[in-house]
Chains A and B, each alone.
Chain A
Amino acid sequence: MEVEEEVKRIIDEVKDLHDSAASFISSSSQQELSLRQKASAVDSSIRRLHSTLVSNKNLDPKLVEKLEEDLHRARCMLVDGETSSFLPSKPQGRFVRMFCGPVNVRALRKDVQLKVKEEYNRYRDKTALLFLFFPATLLILRSYYWGGCLPAFPVQLYEAWLLFLYAGLAMRENILRANGSDIRPWWLYHHYCAMAMALVSLTWEIKGQPNCVQKQRGVHLFLQWAMMQGVAMLLQNRYQRQRLYTRIALGKAKRMDVVWGETAGVDGQLWLLCPILFILQVFEAYVGLLLLRKTVTGVVNEWQVMVCGILLVVMAVGNFINTVETLMAKSRVKAKMKRSKSRAELN
């Protein structure tokens, strides 16, 4: 019977498929393991050689520089190409493990990693505008429509949205780090602090009339802080997008020199971005100090005000320090690039 034969054939095919799948999985696991071991061995050899070079005082300095450059180039090739997936990875963040369990969020292929980064940038773009727009709308409605008093529900809705937004950002950034991105840990901690602020503000009682101008002062300051964050995020997005396009363009041209192009093409933007960031950070600290002052002078004595004030000051100080450190790291890279360029021209 036809049907009987077909069923028999299907069963055989399934058995076949099962065997091929099992052998594929085991052989690719073996190959992957051997590649990982090789990558880890090469990585540690590079480190060892690097420290040997640095500690060896008897070498001709020019030779040392050339060798260091070669090592660095080799390292970049290791880190930027397909081999990066086989390097020993940073242990996956506690945050990701706390919410997702032991799932491996590390993409094996480089193009998937780039896709993750692109999606992250798009996500930031989508939300940066809302970040600015939502509190602006609330404040405008407050002045013209609600008689100077914000009703509780829209503000709480906004605070809940902020919480989920920052949770999404924190999660994505943890995943990017697991995929080899060099996001500074502070930016992740900044988002954790922002999540805490959104959570704390949710419990904040939004008192109504009468005299709500004074009672709602804390909420007012919170919304202003949120708008500043939106502006900062928009500016940072533009800057990061420029950097990424530059890197991709250079990557297509000459893969090993991607890192040298770190600062190319975005100098002008950097000089515009950093002063604005500093101003925003100062304003953030100012808002935090205002909130702390209200607690100290006893105008409002809820714990939320104090906690938010502390969080804001911590965030402002951390942001400032990290922005300065990033600037310093970039100028070091630029100086190094200039030196190697001029040396290449001399030779």
Chain B
Amino acid sequence: MEEVEEEVKRIVEQVKELHDSSTSFVSSSSQEELSLRNRASVVDSSIRRLHSTLASDKHLDPKLFEKLEEDLQRAKCMLADGDTSSFLPSKPQGRFVRMFLGPVNVRASRKDIQLKVKEEYNSYRDRTALLFLVFPAILLTLRSYVWDGCLPAFPVQLYQAWLLFLYAGLVMRENILRANGSDIRSWWIYHHYFAMAMSLVSLTWEIKGQPNCVQKQKGVRLFLQWAMMQGVAMLLQNRYQRQRLYTRIALGKAKRMDVVWGETAGVDGQLLLLFPILFTLQGFEAYVGLQLLRTVLTGVVAEWQVLVCGILLVVMAIGNFTNTVETLMVKSRFKAKMKRSKSRAELD
């Protein structure tokens, strides 16, 4: 009996000890973290300052200038790619994340967790890209062979609701990736917002039944075709991104500071295959949007949803095209720079 009393006393002591050590751990690690953040921010601004000094200084020997710029760039990469990246001043967390999650900090402090987040994002995209293609394909196939050319409302609405949640999940993950330092272009996130809006609008779209549903359901059919195209585009992009990530990881293990130089290595062939297909899909997306707008103008279908979806599709197609072209241009500039520095290294 005394034993139990002793044990209880001991436990209470242990709890007090634990409480004190955790309090001191939390406060000391916060202090250290704060000092690391200050140092990182100071170094970061010094690098920027030096970079602009170099750029504006006309009296430098151009070879020296290029060497110094390379050194600065290497330092910047070391800062951005290693463990120090968690202490750099972060982009303010997106409004979208704050709107749904509140003030929780979604920035992972450790690099391995950040990589895990990115890997999970890629596997999420893989899982869903296939469904993206299969679901509407099944609906359209069933339409031709089982449903006499008419789509019943419920399966289509189920699909539209699933699309909405899917895009919401993608948007949330991409915002989190950005907060964790990823360099996703803002447009892709906006593209997903537009896609969410399209799913939402299409949910309110009344799917009329017989008779004459071939004409009435034209908008729905075009929507399903657009969704299938999106699925194809997503599958291709996933393959490309996966190659890029593996290349980066492989290079990272070899030589950490040169990860960024490997940006385009190993994926050239895929790029040349990917871009024409993307352009074709974007052209088709604009075509579908214009078709929808035409059905509104000719008065065949007079619902606001058709107009909004048509506008959204055209906006998305133009934005996708513009951003794909910009990405291509950035990559070719990069390759040219890489070739120049390679040849210079061989000369020296």
Residues of A within 8 A of B203 (CB): 199, 202-203
**Residues 230-253 of B contacting A (Cβ, < 8 Å):** none
A305 at the interface (CB under 8 A from B): no
A38-B21 Cα distance, complex, nearest whole Å: 11
A58 → B minimal CB distance (Å): 7
Write the chain B residue with the least CB distance to A14. B75
Among B101-109, B187-195, B266-274, the stretch in contact with A? B101-109
B113 at the interface (CB under 8 A from A): yes
Residues of A within 8 A of B12 (CB): 70, 73-74
B107 → A minimal CB distance (Å): 9
B24 → A minimal CB distance (Å): 9
B83 near A21 with CB under 8 A, answer yes
Residues of B within 8 A of A85 (CB): 22, 26
| Contacts A3-B68, A101-B124, A103-B176 given; does A67 touch B102 at CB 8 Å | no
CB < 8 Å neighbour of A175 from B40, B102, B200: B102
A17 at the interface (CB under 8 A from B): yes
Q: Interface residues of B toward A: which range?
A: 35 or more
Q: Which one of B15, B64, B304 has the greatest number of beta carbons of chain A within 10 Å?
A: B15
Residues of B within 8 A of A345 (CB): none
A274 at the interface (CB under 8 A from B): no
**Residues 36-65 of A contacting B (Cβ, < 8 Å):** 38-39, 42, 45-46, 49, 52-53, 56, 58-59, 63
Residues of A within 8 A of B106 (CB): 100, 103, 105
B113 near A104 with CB under 8 A, answer yes
Write the chain B residue with the least CB distance to A102. B120
| Contacts A18-B83, A102-B117, A103-B117 given; does A31 touch B25 at CB 8 Å | yes
**Residues 1-52 of A contacting B (Cβ, < 8 Å):** 1, 3-4, 6-7, 10-11, 13-15, 17-18, 20-22, 24-25, 28-29, 31-32, 35, 38-39, 42, 45-46, 49, 52
A171-B68 Cα distance, complex, nearest whole Å: 48
| Contacts A24-B32, A81-B19, A156-B204 given; does A175 touch B101 at CB 8 Å | yes
B57 near A3 with CB under 8 A, answer yes
A1-B67 Cα distance, complex, nearest whole Å: 14
A303 near B117 with CB under 8 A, answer no
B82 near A116 with CB under 8 A, answer no
A99 at the interface (CB under 8 A from B): yes
A18 near B176 with CB under 8 A, answer no
A120-B99 Cα distance, complex, nearest whole Å: 11
Write the chain A residue with the least CB distance to B33. A24
24 residue pairs A–B, Cβ–Cβ below 8 Å:
A1-B64, A7-B68, A7-B72, A14-B79, A25-B86, A25-B110, A29-B110, A35-B22, A42-B11, A45-B7, A45-B14, A46-B15, A49-B8, A53-B4, A59-B4, A74-B15, A82-B23, A83-B15, A99-B173, A103-B108, A104-B108, A171-B101, A202-B204, A203-B204
Interface residues of B (CB under 8 A from A): 1, 4-5, 7-9, 11-12, 14-16, 18-19, 21-23, 25-26, 29-30, 32-33, 36, 39-40, 43, 46-47, 50, 53-54, 57, 60, 64, 68, 71-72, 74-75, 78-79, 82-84, 86-87, 99-106, 108-110, 113, 116-117, 120-121, 124, 153-154, 157, 161, 168-169, 172-173, 176, 200, 203-204, 206, 304
Interface residues of A (CB under 8 A from B): 1, 3-4, 6-7, 10-11, 13-15, 17-18, 20-22, 24-25, 28-29, 31-32, 35, 38-39, 42, 45-46, 49, 52-53, 56, 58-59, 63, 67, 70-71, 73-74, 77-78, 81-83, 85-86, 98-105, 107-109, 112, 115-116, 119-120, 123, 152-153, 156, 160, 167-168, 171-172, 175, 199, 202-203, 205, 303
